[in-house]
Structure 1
């Protein structure tokens, strides 16, 4: 029997790194399969799931703008947004190959491959049990996909933002540089901002803080962790209002 979940509607943020092998770029269907298996298990719990894709496995707009000659920053950011659509298409077909119904919505109009993002239409798809993949960021340059995820969560009134990463959660310092870095089980939005912790970008944190949407940062590569996060199990790090932080966190 499927485990019940405390969250009815979830916004899952997956970075571009989730679409390729560690240290590589491009697309790896084996890596995408790791995501697909876990997403399918979540949908079997009856959770309404929207997914925001990053595109760093193909191109990061900001970084590309910094190193390229002759390409303006807005153009580089649009190129990065198009990379997220490529990832969204791959994820859509992979999910539908295992009988998970999906819709791909893009913030940049491209009717041949994706629906436009319309909030009411997105709501209806979610209510019907379809996984909605939200691609192309916000459709405007100079905005990260983290912020697109936070804004999307506010628009669709998600109960939580799950940030799937390849690390176990939020640390006090980079654990690769300091083996004594502390892994937080819970931390407030304010502390994330004051300590300049690299959870999500500052704008994304502010949006979640304003709407009091919890963020769960966790390692999706451990089998079943997405379903555990949806079920409210204490994995990774939860970012919450200060008033909700438990005394033993």
Structure 2
């Protein structure tokens, strides 16, 4: 595959947090829906063709939602099942990407035969050689979310920004699907997000981003070409950074 230069791009290395719920279809009732998976794979492929270094941390909520499930499990057991669910999603995503000619390395925090064990330097080398890196298994520990894993891996791998795909068009003061008076934020500081207890990320993930000055952009996965447009510098969704009006777009 020919990879073009990235000199005209706003970002050259990003971490994409892909929620497992986005892979599920309400119509087909499938936990991993072909059309959904293909859509997100195509979004990633478009960015990869421009030479962007892309790491993806994928969740497992389409298969297992922890304490929202009816299984009588303690938190540790539930989180272990969730980690395995992310690996299943990672296998599916890697298959779609590779079948479309995109070299992909799937790594997990949990040792298993289906993928490589996550090692920071190997992941960086894969990115430098033009691979998409898919990370699963969270941090391999209970009580830590995949949002926290995404923040930490973004810092470790030198991502310039963390991008979180959701099913709403940014961060709101309340759930816009429930509260008709919810207000959307265009920009937030990390401290604002923490103080307001906004639930788009868990507190630990916000603190990591704040401490290491990693900008976060939350956007609607349904917007056509949203990932590519953000990488090119278009303001889509909500930006969270050190400053109220961050100068991270041209």
Q: Normalization by structure 1: what TM-score?
A: 0.92
The residue number in structure 1 matching 2:21 is 17
Measure how far apart 1:181 and its partner are. 2.1
Residues 34 and 221 of structure 1 are in contact (CA less than 8 Å); yes or no, is this contact kept in structure 2?
no
What is the aligned residue count?
242
Residues 109 and 137 of structure 2 are in contact (CA less than 8 Å); yes or no, is this contact kept in structure 1?
yes
Instruction: Give yes or no for the alignment of 1:170 onto 2:174.
Output: no
Residues 77 and 142 of structure 1 are in contact (CA less than 8 Å); yes or no, is this contact kept in structure 2?
yes
In 1, distance between residues paired with 2:211 and 2:68?
A: 29
Structure 1: gaps of 5 or more residues: none
The residue number in structure 1 matching 2:74 is 72
Measure how far apart 1:75 and its partner are. 1.5
The residue number in structure 2 matching 1:87 is 89
- 5 Å matches for 1:90-169? 90-110=92-112, 112-169=113-170
Deviations 1:1-21 (CA, angstroms, capped at 9, x unpaired): 887322121000000111111
In 2, distance between residues paired with 1:122 and 1:244?
A: 32
Deviations 1:90-136 (CA, angstroms, capped at 9, x unpaired): 000011111111010010001x2100000000000000110000000
- What secondary structure, in the 3-state scheme, does the structure 1 residue paired with 2:105 have? strand
How big is the alpha-carbon RMSD for the aligned residues of Structure 1 and Structure 2? Answer: 1.7
Q: Normalization by structure 2: what TM-score?
A: 0.92
Residues 189 and 205 of structure 1 are in contact (CA less than 8 Å); yes or no, is this contact kept in structure 2?
yes
Instruction: Give yes or no for the alignment of 1:8 onto 2:7.
Output: no
Measure how far apart 1:57 and its partner are. 0.3
In 1, distance between residues paired with 2:232 and 2:32?
A: 29
In 1, distance between residues paired with 2:162 and 2:192?
A: 18
The residue number in structure 2 matching 1:236 is 237
In 1, distance between residues paired with 2:198 and 2:16?
A: 20
- What secondary structure, in the 3-state scheme, does the structure 2 residue paired with 1:162 have? strand
- 5 Å matches for 1:48-63? 48-63=53-68
